Amino acid sequence: MTMLEIIGKKKYGQELTKEEIAFFAEAAAEKTVPDYQLAALLMAIRLNGMTDRETTDLTLAMRDSGDIADLSAIPGIKVDKHSTGGVGDTTTLVLAPLVAACGAPVAKMSGRGLGHTGGTLDKLESIPGLSVTLSVEDFVRQVKEIGVAVIGQTGRLAPADKTLYGLRDVTSTVDSLPLIVSSILSKKLAAGSDAIVLDVKTGSGAIMRTLEDSLKLAESMVRVGELAGKPIVALVSSMDQPLGTHVGNALEVKEAIDILAGRAGGDLLEVSLTLGGFMLHLAGRAETPEAGQQMMKQAIASGAGLEKMKQMIAAQGGDPSVCDDVTRLPRAKVIRPVSCGVSGWVTKMDTMALGMAAQAMGAGRLTMEDRLDYSVGYVLQVRIGDRVEPDTPLCVLHARSEADADRAEAAIRSAIIFGREHCGRAQNFHAVVTKDGVRRLGAGS
């Protein structure tokens, strides 16, 4: 077979065989065909779609294009969590130590931020000395010893995805459902966990802006996961405003520590507990997700979650004393409080614009080569549904310079809409998707 023949079939909307899909994935991993042929097939897939069987075959072929982590030496059911990305989404730093403190091993490989979304690895690297680069052997050993490790992707995990992801970004094929599903799940399956909890974001800061599109993505990933023999539960959650109040790498670590220490709560805690509850249920540590949530609340109250965070930081070469003194985290040169300046209600936020405001301050990258300033970002002090007056605090800016603070203030103000009438609070979760179907939550369910 040739790539030209495969492109021709999909151009006319025909179903590809398992062998043709494997040929495509291997060609992407080994770069044995020109990029323009790979791009042509990506566009044909974007225009004509794939069946669940094709998407499953592509996911498995991409998984098998490189190394697969063997976590069998770690006792117990290993459960992974993946978010489709957003702003102020620090759930991994909250739930990973809490789930581990409740007895479920968390062997997690995470990613970096790009564009308006933050990355777990970047946040962890704001902790002085901490390394997210471990060999597979050290990764497994750490999870066996303390129950948790969060590191970067190791070795040649899903190299086909690395090639195709880069091409999708420059060929306007990022929004293809089968390509999104195979990209996410191939890496998750290669990372070796036994079950997966997915947090599929929806709203102004998500890859999928509408609830219906987010539900389609969640349902497709659950179906493909089942076909691939991997139990998956997907929750559709809101990204119509930043999840946490802190946006920026060291600031988000601080918020996670404050939550684990019992000093903070809010939407970030609620979402972390909900996702972690499902993780503990899939791991067999809790009879129900709700029981899992209660276990995690107890781990916060007892200090076990914060202690597990300290153990993970120390095991990965970081300074665990940041958990006792958050001022040891990187601090910005300019810290400026900003007031709302208007009367009314917070009715809407452009979450992508809020993420880009932090990116422009130096908290995120325009390219993968950009250097981050871990100290910068902001603390957002209003939520959708809040009543504000001119002197109500809007945010606290953490910037490198007064000029950066001025630009960030203008960007944040333009991204938040104030109205004269109360619009109600935003709900955190819209649906739970399992192999048995979709369960709608909240308003209109």
Q: Please report, in tens digits, the pLDDT of each residue of the chain (445 residues total).
A: 899 999 999 999 999 999 999 999 999 999 999 999 999 999 999 999 999 999 999 999 999 999 998 999 999 999 999 998 889 999 999 999 999 999 999 999 888 776 677 789 999 999 999 999 998 899 999 999 999 999 987 768 899 998 998 899 788 898 899 999 999 999 899 989 999 999 999 999 988 889 999 999 999 999 999 999 899 999 999 999 999 999 999 999 999 999 999 999 999 999 999 999 999 999 999 999 999 999 999 999 999 999 999 999 999 999 999 999 999 999 999 999 999 999 999 999 999 999 999 999 999 887 657 789 999 999 999 999 999 999 999 999 999 999 999 999 999 999 999 999 988 888 999 999 999 999 998 764 4
| Cβ atoms within 10 Å, residue 124 | 24
What lies within 8 Å, CB to CB, of 173 at 6+ separation is 39, 42, 43, 45, 46, 167, 179
Catalytic, out of 10, 82, 123, 308 = 82
Tokens matching residue 222: 């659950």
Q: Are residues 352 and 389 in the same domain?
A: yes
Q: In the annotation, is 161 catalytic? A: yes
d(CA 414, CA 426): 20
Q: Are residues 315 and 269 in the same domain?
A: yes
What lies within 8 Å, CB to CB, of 40 at 6+ separation is 7
Catalytic, out of 108, 162, 187, 285 = 187
In 3D space, the residue among 4, 34, 65, 47 whose CA is nearest the CA of residue 167 turns out to be 34
d(CA 80, CA 163): 24
SS3 assignment, position 267: helix
Catalytic, out of 83, 176, 183, 193 = 183
d(CA 116, CA 136): 30
d(CA 240, CA 326): 28
What lies within 8 Å, CB to CB, of 47 at 6+ separation is none
pTM of the entire structure? 0.92
Catalytic, out of 161, 199, 373, 404 = 161
Q: Are residues 336 and 200 in the same domain?
A: no
Q: In the annotation, is 430 catalytic? A: no
Q: Are residues 307 and 348 in the same domain?
A: no
Q: Are residues 169 and 28 in the same domain?
A: no
**What backbone phi and psi angles, to 5 degrees, belong to 312?**
-65, -45
> Which residues, in sequence order, are bridge partners of residue 429?
237
Parent domain of 22: 3-63
Catalytic, out of 78, 168, 201, 430 = 168
Q: In the annotation, is 52 catalytic? A: no
d(CA 235, CA 440): 10
Q: Are residues 364 and 253 in the same domain?
A: no
Q: Are residues 147 and 258 in the same domain?
A: yes
> What is the helix (H) or strand (E) element at residue 81, kind and residue range?
strand 79-83
Q: Are residues 91 and 199 in the same domain?
A: yes
| Cβ atoms within 10 Å, residue 385 | 14
d(CA 108, CA 192): 9
d(CA 356, CA 402): 18
- Any idea what the CATH number is for the domain that residue 149 is in? 3.40.1030.10
Residue indicated by tokens 């029981």: 291
Answer for the pair 82, 184: CB distance below 8 angstroms, yes or no.
Answer: yes
Q: Are residues 286 and 360 in the same domain?
A: no
Q: In the annotation, is 187 catalytic? A: yes
| Cβ atoms within 10 Å, residue 399 | 25
